């Protein structure tokens, strides 16, 4: 397998990391790119790694070293050959994505003006038709005319072109239009929590429209949850890539994991609008993640200083072990204050950074919600204000977060919830309810629209007061949510004691029946013993006469929505409201309107 040699400048003293690069073979890891429509692996991206257990094990540090020594072009070429040889040796049969900057591609063409890929792929076992050249965003290169000519040559040899990290760095619509790539990989920023962010949804829809106009296929990068995968699939993305689908690994994997298969095989429309605290808000702390390179304990203090200089916005650096588990944090301000003291560089510059880290950093799992993070804001441990916190996935390092980000995010979530959610239950209100109905109609999938209402709630509220009445409304919200599938079913609060449930679950009727049973049982406990013994209370009716009212119970009117039967959300809402009136008139727990032309059923 090719190795990277002579990376150092000729007359430059070698540091320990540079010697390791000279003497140790690089290796590639592979992360799959998934075809969402076919449910298969479309290809694998080759990602280079430096010598294990060294400062340059990870690509950021490896390329930073190459940059300092003016050998980035050489490193990119060797990285591609390492990946190609390893992929062929493992009988990789899908597309192979390899990363190149524009400068490296032009250098490749100068070496072999007629067949640029011939020397690159020589003796690797990979054919040019298997290759997808990913044009990286961090190297704009020279003018597009020269680059366009080289890319045409590469395509004539059978390779495909992809733009990497679109939406970040130098990637632009103009570059997309000029280079006409086969594939565009959308930066991970847009996929992160996309199911919770209407603006990101709109941006991705716009990019899909552009892709259709140019005949380009899109890859959603950075997919890290089932909800994100379901969202980009529903939007119409062709491909996806990310940790949820599979992590980079030495071995080439041609099979989808079970979690991915479950999302792709179940064609329900993803539930986007966030529910509030009562429904376990789905805003995750991973949305705050700063992608900051970690360091190993044997990293020198000089190397840490260089890292801080390269990334001025970095507030801290995480020290990890060889398994990527955090050991401590190096606070930028404290570290740099020490480093500027007299003789500190001379005494400690080449020593390990480990003594200067703060052990026992605040670790936060990426799946934690922002509601759960509120406890950190209120705790006595205020280190997050200066050091921030470390975001991990099952204990393994992912990135950093800052206290400022956390405070801002929690505040924004609360404000956004107040705009579109019912203030009593924090469930989505009329605007998100209508938006979700529209998405269900657009996707042409059958679903069930249910309208829930309480029988005899007004007499209860008059008798026991608004506080007990609010308690019953919150109880109803809790019961509805507990019986729904959070990934398939949507619960909204219209107002008062009116709720809407939009079911994609096939067992929706059984779920409604459980709602009826659980709510009716628990609601009775909100009455006093005398009322429960008599089965109700005496109170004034709407005409002011004393009357007997049974205990409050739940009534649900349901409409089965078939594809094409309704065109607008308000039509669905009206049909559900009519079903609610029907169930109230009949005095039953559940009334089902099968379709606009079918007869009703009651339960």
Residue 530 lies in a domain: yes
Decide: 30 and 92 in contact? Cβ < 8 Å: yes
Residues 49 and 111 in one domain: yes
Whether residue 183 is found in the same domain as residue 47 = yes
Q: 500 is written with which tokens?
A: 């809407």
The answer to whether 554 touches 515, Cβ cutoff 8 Å, is yes
Q: How far apart are CA 295 and CA 272, in angstroms?
A: 37
Same domain, 185 and 309: no
Residue 376 binned pLDDT confidence (cut-offs 50, 70, 90) = confident
3-state secondary structure of 326: strand
Q: Give mean pLDDT, residues 349-375.
A: 86
The model's pLDDT over 133-159, given as tens digits with 9 standing for 90+, comes to 999 876 655 556 788 889 999 999 999
- Residue 386 sits in which domain range? 285-413
Judge whether 272 lies within some domain.
no
Asked if residue 386 has pLDDT above 60, the reply is: yes
Spatial contact of 17 and 55, defined as CB atoms under 8 Å apart:
yes
**Residue 430: Cβ-neighbour burial (10 angstroms; 0-12, 13-18, 19+):** middle
Average pLDDT over residues 533-544: 90
Question: Which residues have a Cβ under 8 Å from the Cβ of 372 and sit 6 or more positions away?
Answer: 285
Within a domain: 468: yes
Together in a domain, 257 and 360: no
> How far, in Å, CA of 246 to CA of 242, rounded?
6
- State pLDDT tens for residues 409-438: 877 766 665 566 788 888 888 888 998 999
Mean pLDDT of 16-31: 63
| Beta strands, E only, 297-361 | 316-320, 326-331, 358-359
Same domain, 452 and 519: yes
Long-range contacts, 470-477 (Cβ 8 Å, 24+): 470/424, 471/526, 472/497, 472/523, 472/526, 472/552, 473/424, 473/425, 473/497, 474/278, 474/424, 474/425, 475/519, 475/522, 475/523, 475/526, 476/452, 476/519, 476/523, 476/554, 477/278, 477/279, 477/425, 477/427
Question: Cα separation of 208 and 238, whole Å?
Answer: 10
Torsional class of 482: left (φ above 0), alpha (ψ -120 to 50), beta (otherwise):
alpha
Q: What is the DSSP string of 422-434?
A: -TTT--B-HHHHH
Mean of pLDDT values over 273-294 = 66
Residues 253 and 322 in one domain: no
Q: Of 413, 439, 473, which closes a domain?
A: 413
The CATH number given to whatever domain includes residue 244 is 3.20.20.450
Are both 44 and 162 inside the same structural domain?
Answer: yes
Residue 177 lies in a domain: yes
CB 49 within 8 A of CB 58: yes
Tell me how many domains the chain contains: 3
Quick one: 350 and 476 in the same domain? no
Q: pLDDT per residue over 94-122, tens digit each?
A: 999 999 999 999 998 888 887 888 888 88
DSSP 1-26: -------S-TTSPPPHHHHHHHHS--
Q: Is residue 94 part of a domain?
A: yes
pLDDT at 64 over 60: yes
Any idea what the CATH number is for the domain that residue 598 is in? Answer: 3.30.70.270
Residue 378 reports pLDDT greater than 90: no
431 and 573 housed in the same domain: yes
Spatial contact of 593 and 559, defined as CB atoms under 8 Å apart? yes
Q: Are the CB atoms for 111 and 117 separated by under 8 Å?
A: no
109 shares a domain with 151: yes
Of 413, 431, 447, which marks where a domain is finished? 413
Q: Are 471 and 592 spatial neighbours (Cβ–Cβ below 8 Å)?
A: no
559: which residues sit within 8 A by CB, 6+ positions away?
448, 449, 450, 572, 575, 576, 579, 592, 593
Q: Of 413, 440, 463, which residue constitutes the final position of a domain?
A: 413
Neighbour count for residue 581 (Cβ, 10 Å): 14
Same domain for 240 and 333: no
Task: Tell me, yes or no, whether 512 and 535 share the same domain.
Answer: yes
Residue 17 has pLDDT above 60, yes or no: no
User: Considering the domain boundaries, does residue 268 fall inside one?
Assistant: no
8 A C-beta contact, residue 419 and residue 274: no
Mean pLDDT taken over the chain: 86
Whether 67 is covered by a domain: the verdict is yes
3-state secondary structure of 105: helix
Q: How far is CA 21 from CA 18, 31, 348, 413, in A?
A: 5, 23, 24, 46
Question: What is the rounded end-to-end Cα distance, in angstroms, of the chain?
Answer: 70
Question: Cα 26 vs. chain centroid, distance in angstroms?
Answer: 31
8 belongs to a structural domain:
no
């Amino acid at each position: 397998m090719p190795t990277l040699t002579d990376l150092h400048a000729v007359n430059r003293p070698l540091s320990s990391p540079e010697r390791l690069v000279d003497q140790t073979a690089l290796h590639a890891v592979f992360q799959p790119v998934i075809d969402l429509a076919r449910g298969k692996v479309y290809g694998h991206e080759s990602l280079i790694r430096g010598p294990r257990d060294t400062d340059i094990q990870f690509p950021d540090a490896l390329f930073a070293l190459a940059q300092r020594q003016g050998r980035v072009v050489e490193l990119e070429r060797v990285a591609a050959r390492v990946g190609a040889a390893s992929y062929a040796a493992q009988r990789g049969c899908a597309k192979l994505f390899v990363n190149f900057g524009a400068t490296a591609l032009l250098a490749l063409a100068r070496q072999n003006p007629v067949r640029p890929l011939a020397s690159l792929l020589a003796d690797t076992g990979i054919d040019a038709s298997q290759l997808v050249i990913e044009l990286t965003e961090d190297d704009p290169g020279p003018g597009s005319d020269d680059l366009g000519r080289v890319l045409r040559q590469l395509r004539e040899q059978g390779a495909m072109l992809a733009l990497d990290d679109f939406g970040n760095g130098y990637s632009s619509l103009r570059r997309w239009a000029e280079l006409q790539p086969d594939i565009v990989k959308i930066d991970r920023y847009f996929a992160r929590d996309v199911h919770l962010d209407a603006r990101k949804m709109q941006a991705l829809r716009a990019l899909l429209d552009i892709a259709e106009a140019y005949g380009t296929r899109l890859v959603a990068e950075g997919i890290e949850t089932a909800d994100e995968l379901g969202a980009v699939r529903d939007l119409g993305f062709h491909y996806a890539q990310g940790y949820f689908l599979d992590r980079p690994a030495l071995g080439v994997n041609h099979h989808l994991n079970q979690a991915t298969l479950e999302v792709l095989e179940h064609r329900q429309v993803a539930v986007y609008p966030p529910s509030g605290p009562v429904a376990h808000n789905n805003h995750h702390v991973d949305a705050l993640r700063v992608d900051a390179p970690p360091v190993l304990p044997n990293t020198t203090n000089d190397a840490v200083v260089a890292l801080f200089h390269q990334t001025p916005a970095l507030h801290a650096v995480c020290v990890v072990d060889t398994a990527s588990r955090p050991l401590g944090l190096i606070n930028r301000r404290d570290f740099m204050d020490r480093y500027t003291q007299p003789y500190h560089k001379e005494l400690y510059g080449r020593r390990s950074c480990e003594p200067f880290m703060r052990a026992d950093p605040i670790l936060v799992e990426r799946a934690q919600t922002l509601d759960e993070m509120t406890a950190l804001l209120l705790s006595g441990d205020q280190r997050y204000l200066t050091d921030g916190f470390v975001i991990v996935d099952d204990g393994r390092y992912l990135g950093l977060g800052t206290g400022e980000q956390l405070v801002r995010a929690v505040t924004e979530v609360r404000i956004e919830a107040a705009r579109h959610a019912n203030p009593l239950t924090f469930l989505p209100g009329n605007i998100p309810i209508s938006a979700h109905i529209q998405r269900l109609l657009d996707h042409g999938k059958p679903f069930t629209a249910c309208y829930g209402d309480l029988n005899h709630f007004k007499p209860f509220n008059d008798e026991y007061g608004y506080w007990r009445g609010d308690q019953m409304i919150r109880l109803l919200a809790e019961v509805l949510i507990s019986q729904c599938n959070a990934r398939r079913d949507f619960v909204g609060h219209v107002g008062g004691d009116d709720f809407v449930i939009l079911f994609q679950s096939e067992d929706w009727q059984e779920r409604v029946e459980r709602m009826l049973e659980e709510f009716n049982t628990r609601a009775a406990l909100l009455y006093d013993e005398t009322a429960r013994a008599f089965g109700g209370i005496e109170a004034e009716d709407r005409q002011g006469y004393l009357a007997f009212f049974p205990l409050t119970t739940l009534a649900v009117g349901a409409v089965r929505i078939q594809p094409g039967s309704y065109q607008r959300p308000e039509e669905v809402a009206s049909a559900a409201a009519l079903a609610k009136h029907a169930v109230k008139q009949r005095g039953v727990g559940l009334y089902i309107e099968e379709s606009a032309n079918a007869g009703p059923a009651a339960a």
